[in-house]
Amino acid sequence: MGFMDVAVAAIMLLAQYAGLPAQVMISASVYLFIKAAMFFGDLMSIIDGIVGLYLLIMLFFRPELVTILFAIYLAAKGAWSMF
């Protein structure tokens, strides 16, 4: 799951700066929702659910600072779980 968190962080940054198809962003969001549901009750899972919701919101508008903060969170969490 750590690798997928890093991949979702990359998807967020690519969507912000390069533009990605909606299907990719929706798939990443669904992944985060499923992961949040699997570990329901944990603070990190709640944040994952919020990031998943934000990915859906990114389909309509993209505030840069929030995207960077969430991408850093996911990349750090993913890197921490891989090591």
Structure confidence at residue 27 (pLDDT):
95
62 pLDDT higher than 90: no
Quick one: DSSP state of residue 42?
A: S
Compute the distance between CA of residue 45 and CA of residue 4 in angstroms, rounded to an integer: 14
Model confidence at 63, pLDDT cuts 50, 70, 90, reads confident
Q: What is the pTM of this model?
A: 0.86
The model's pLDDT over 8-55, given as tens digits with 9 standing for 90+, comes to 999 999 998 888 899 999 999 999 999 999 988 889 899 999 999 999
Compute the distance between CA of residue 20 and CA of residue 37 in angstroms, rounded to an integer: 26
